[in-house]
A and B are shown apart, each in its own frame.
Chain A
């Protein structure tokens, strides 16, 4: 059986054009599977407009809840909590202050609920997050939404990627396009793990270069092929040269220079990928070359 080719699009810095590139790659070939792993701020569905046929809840964790009918205000939970999520709040009838959970600090570790001598602490599931699978014009898409403030975005990324693999096997798709999150933390790590290729989209700015180096250093810890795409490359040609020479020194191929083109934004406003909106543009030509390059089946 042919191995599925998982291509993860990342950037370190936000707003460099990950989703615009992913949307274009997702609309160049039929029978593609797309995984939107920016579960914090998912946008790809706005372009691909999938018709979801399956949606599942995702339990991202739990939060402690005190049952005040039982609580004896001993404060043992406060002593044990390492997240400073339990405080004594000033309140009438509570001379020492009322033991209260600070929900935004609670990590959901369950320790308070386990050590409470009167079993006054319950753990309530955080079930406002979900993931969905749907059909879009060129294939199938898995996307998710992490509810505000919730943890474990890395785990939700794992769920989305696992579903993408199952879907790709079922539909016989060769490529999975992963639209990754910004940053280098758990969600980015989960977007790299097990991928075949990582494409880092950067821009010719001081911050673009700084952030690209960090995400490539992270990717370097995995068995994954690394590539760079420079977006808006003509906005600062000196910095573009600087990025190219750094990549050359590190032996990382730069597989495309995308010029600045306001049509990228126009396409987004029209909910189209750039290759659908302006197929004859220079930018679309370069993206088609990138697509051909990345789709080549790796003989191992």
Chain B
């Protein structure tokens, strides 16, 4: 079972839910993996300790243009849909703007003069940590200054195959990086908060998941702090409300100290276990 924990709006509690779910899941199942796919700001390791067993450097290809062989025909520039190549035939100049390159291979295919070869450029890392003898975390971490987290996210997800329970901590938003994390998931938990911003972004996430025909449910975090519009909307749309977590300064304090709620408050261990069971039930439907 692969469960992604996502939200349109940032800071609603994705990592809070995914780390606490992980802590209850590792007691119930034999083989549990939490994949931190918020590669731009990975936070799972703030909450869960483990022994690093591997760190892989994720790279992309970058073209290198041999200026001796190049005839400055401009075909590679024309084929590059990301405007990563600048070619000035009159001055016999050709450059690559590294940050714009998507590693699609079009320039290589375009060049008829064998003037293009490839080198590798580092994008980030994927680290595997063993937490207990049957649970681990996998972290996708994008290097600072790198534009797209997609390759690092996909590499982390690939490492997580063959696991009984896979939890995926998704990046915020609804763009390509979010899509990369929910496509492999059997179920998506959308975490929101009962505020106009939370509801607005929840609607965007739901619209996206409906287009992709995904099964999902909602966790409302910090209840009591905003308004009730989210509950009316969920009822109207017949979307399962999986769990409500009240706004509580004590919960906020435990989170702020990078500790896990389910380990501090046994009643929440039960609540999160029930959440896991509810998801399991909905997946089987």
Interface residue ranges, A against B (CB under 8 Å): 11-16, 19, 40-41, 43, 46, 62, 80, 82-83, 104-105, 107-111, 114-115, 146, 148-151, 153-154, 181-186, 188-189, 203-208, 210-211, 214, 217-218, 221, 232, 235-236, 239, 262, 265, 268-269, 271
Instruction: Check B144–A40 contact: CB distance below 8 A.
Output: no
CB distance from B255 to the nearest CB of A (A): 6
Instruction: Check A218–B144 contact: CB distance below 8 A.
Output: yes
CB distance from A156 to the nearest CB of B (A): 10
Instruction: Check B256–A206 contact: CB distance below 8 A.
Output: yes
CB distance from B202 to the nearest CB of A (A): 10
Q: A109-B104, A210-B43, A235-B256 are in contact. Are A149 and B225 (CB under 8 A)?
A: no
| CB-defined contacts of B146 to chain A, threshold 8 Å | 185
**Residue B4, interface by CB 8 Å:** no
**Which are the 7 A-B pairs with shortest beta-carbon distances?**
A14-B10, A15-B11, A40-B173, A206-B258, A183-B40, A109-B104, A148-B208
**Residue B88, interface by CB 8 Å:** no
19 A–B pairs (Cβ distance < 8 Å), ordered by A: A19-B197, A40-B174, A46-B200, A80-B105, A104-B180, A105-B183, A107-B104, A109-B106, A148-B204, A148-B207, A148-B208, A182-B11, A183-B38, A183-B171, A184-B41, A189-B145, A204-B256, A206-B46, A236-B256
Q: A16-B11, A151-B175, A268-B195 are in contact. Are A82 and B41 (CB under 8 A)?
A: no
| CB-defined contacts of A14 to chain B, threshold 8 Å | 9-12, 172
Complex Cα spacing A82 to B249, Å = 48
Complex Cα spacing A19 to B8, Å = 14
| CB-defined contacts of A203 to chain B, threshold 8 Å | 256
Q: A109-B104, A181-B173, A204-B256 are in contact. Are A15 and B9 (CB under 8 A)?
A: yes
Instruction: Check B148–A185 contact: CB distance below 8 A.
Output: yes
Extra A-B contacts (5), CB below 8 Å, given A182-B10, A185-B147: A109-B82, A109-B104, A110-B79, A185-B146, A271-B196
Q: A184-B144, A211-B41 are in contact. Are A111 and B105 (CB under 8 A)?
A: yes
**Residue B20, interface by CB 8 Å:** no
Q: Which of A82, A83, A104, A268 is B179 in contact with, Cβ under 8 Å?
A: A104
Instruction: Tally A-B pairs: CB < 8 A.
Output: 180
Q: A109-B104, A184-B144, A185-B40 are in contact. Are A43 and B204 (CB under 8 A)?
A: no
Instruction: Check B106–A114 contact: CB distance below 8 A.
Output: yes
Q: Which of B81, B225, B252 is A265 in contact with, Cβ under 8 Å?
A: B225
0/1 per residue, B151-164, Cβ < 8 Å to A? Answer: 00000000000000
**Residue B63, interface by CB 8 Å:** no
CB distance from B139 to the nearest CB of A (A): 12
| CB-defined contacts of A109 to chain B, threshold 8 Å | 81-82, 102, 104, 106
Q: A114-B106, A217-B144 are in contact. Are A41 and B8 (CB under 8 A)?
A: yes
Complex Cα spacing A262 to B38, Å = 28
Instruction: Check A210–B197 contact: CB distance below 8 A.
Output: no
B interface, how many residues as a size bin? 35 or more
Q: A207-B46, A235-B253 are in contact. Are A43 and B179 (CB under 8 A)?
A: no
| CB-defined contacts of B238 to chain A, threshold 8 Å | none
| CB-defined contacts of A204 to chain B, threshold 8 Å | 256
Q: A148-B208, A184-B41, A185-B40 are in contact. Are A82 and B8 (CB under 8 A)?
A: no
Most buried by A among B148, B173, B175, B227: B175
**Residue B135, interface by CB 8 Å:** no
| CB-defined contacts of B38 to chain A, threshold 8 Å | 183
Instruction: Check B212–A210 contact: CB distance below 8 A.
Output: no
Instruction: Check A182–B200 contact: CB distance below 8 A.
Output: no
Closest to B110 in A: A114
**Residue B217, interface by CB 8 Å:** no
Instruction: Check A262–B225 contact: CB distance below 8 A.
Output: yes
Complex Cα spacing A216 to B255, Å = 23
Closest to A102 in B: B183
Closest to B41 in A: A211
CB distance from A258 to the nearest CB of B (A): 15
Closest to A19 in B: B197
| CB-defined contacts of B179 to chain A, threshold 8 Å | 104, 148-149
**Residue B177, interface by CB 8 Å:** yes
Instruction: Check A269–B105 contact: CB distance below 8 A.
Output: no
Q: A15-B10, A82-B105 are in contact. Are A46 and B174 (CB under 8 A)?
A: no
0/1 per residue, B252-278, Cβ < 8 Å to A? Answer: 110111100000000000000000000
Instruction: Check A269–B196 contact: CB distance below 8 A.
Output: yes
CB distance from B103 to the nearest CB of A (A): 6
| CB-defined contacts of B82 to chain A, threshold 8 Å | 109
Give the contacts of B122-171 with A (CB-CB under 8 A): 142, 144-149, 171
Complex Cα spacing A150 to B110, Å = 26
Complex Cα spacing A115 to B108, Å = 12
Instruction: Check B103–A41 contact: CB distance below 8 A.
Output: no
Complex Cα spacing A11 to B43, Å = 14
